[in-house]
Amino acid sequence: MQSVFFRKNKMRAKPGFTLVELLVVIAIIGILVGLLLPAVQAAREAARRMSCSNNLKNIGLAMHNYHDTFQGLPPGYINNKATTNGPVSGEYSQWAWGAFILPFIEQAPMHDQLQVGTISLSAALTPGGPSDRTALLATPIDTFICPSDSGPEVHKTDDQLRDSADAWQDVAKSNYIALNTTQRWHSGGRLTGPDTGVTNQWGAGPGNGDKPNGCFMRDRSIRFRDILDGTSNTLLVGERVYQYTNPSGTPTICRAGVAIGNEISNEQLSIRRSLGTLTSAINSTDANTCIHGFAGPHPGGIMFVLGDASVRFISETIDHSPVHNGGTDAVDSTMERLGSREDGQSVGSF
């Protein structure tokens, strides 16, 4: 039988880690984490980018389904009450392209609850009114949100929309904006001007002879046959992030947009809501131009869905000579040719 003294000495002889060994193990773990963390972050961003691409793909397919149903793409937004001589009729004032495609992105119940085409958006935005839909309009829709955007999902201070009492109301954010034009805009209405020859059921145009050359504008529905450059060579919808870190390491606030509706009281504000232009460079570092252009959270460029519903990543270094960066209104660069539906020029590789 072992003595108590022998058993205690045996317990003392049990091996263990020394302090030096423990520090070495911790150092190795730290090195491994440092090596693996960038790869993990890259994998997460790749997954987010894939999800963003799927969102744009679904938007592109929804555009096609809408076109098949109504013989045209949805208008950028509606300013006038629809007449009865078109495919739809009713009160469409202030609703934008995002509201029109809701039934085609598995959001038919929301479309029905909002009563798009039965009540105006300003009425739906009026809290306490008979058509109050404020809670619904402040509900984010996953298909309109890029998972890489770290900004708020609801506009609470900037880029809200006005109700029927001219008060600002919260609305859900959209990271996807419909392309209006490659040319400069002004208060006279170029941004949402008339398009001669395109079927219109929302009354007369705003009286400006300069028409946008993109696929989405006010009170107009563009048909695929109006896209003379081919659907595979024409951009429909692209990204606008709430904010991104520019090359200098500081944030640029672009404020994203609103797909569901638009600000009617000021036409210029429509480019900060449902529509966008290519008058500034992709990922512009100037917040004054970024808010009406296209910018994304993905390194190196942004994603667009084209007229054939394909999704392409467009590099921020693409050939582009926008108006606000020393260019002219002429469609004389690859990016501008992609943005124009009828310039008749060869796009080339991009």
How is 91-147 classified by DSSP, letter by letter? Answer: B-TTBBHHHHTGGGGT-HHHHHHHTBBTB-HHHHTSTTSTT--HHHHTS--GGG--T
Q: Is the pLDDT of residue 121 over 50?
A: yes
**Spatial distance between the Cα atoms of 239 and 298, rounded to a whole number of angstroms:** 10
Where b means 16+ CB within 10 Å and e means fewer, 128-154 reads ebebbbbeebbeebebbbbbbbebebe
pLDDT per residue over 142-171, tens digit each? 999 999 998 899 988 777 787 777 788 889
Q: Rg of the Cα trace of the chain?
A: 26
Q: Is the pLDDT of residue 196 over 70?
A: no
Sorted by where each begins, the domain ranges of the chain are 42-339
Tell me the average pLDDT of the chain: 81
pLDDT per residue over 27-56, tens digit each? 888 888 777 777 666 778 778 889 999 999
Nearest CA-CA partner of 310 in 70, 63, 103: 63
Single-letter residue type at 102: L
Task: Look at 9-23, 122-136, 216-230, 298-312 and tell me which has the smallest mean pLDDT.
Answer: 9-23
What are the CA-CA distances from residue 190 to residues 64, 181, 183, 310 (Å)?
A: 26, 9, 8, 28
- pTM above 0.85? no
Question: What percentage of the chain exceeds 90 in pLDDT?
Answer: 33
Phi first, then psi: give them for residue 293, nearest 5 degrees: -115, -145
3-state secondary structure of 240: strand
**Spatial distance between the Cα atoms of 278 and 27, rounded to a whole number of angstroms:** 50
Helix H or strand E encompassing 181:
strand 176-181
What are the CA-CA distances from residue 141 to residues 36, 81, 256, 260, 305 (Å)?
A: 33, 26, 14, 10, 18
Q: Output 267 or 99, whichever has higher pLDDT.
A: 99
**Spatial distance between the Cα atoms of 92 and 81, rounded to a whole number of angstroms:** 6
3-state secondary structure of 154: strand
Residue 304 DSSP one-character state: E
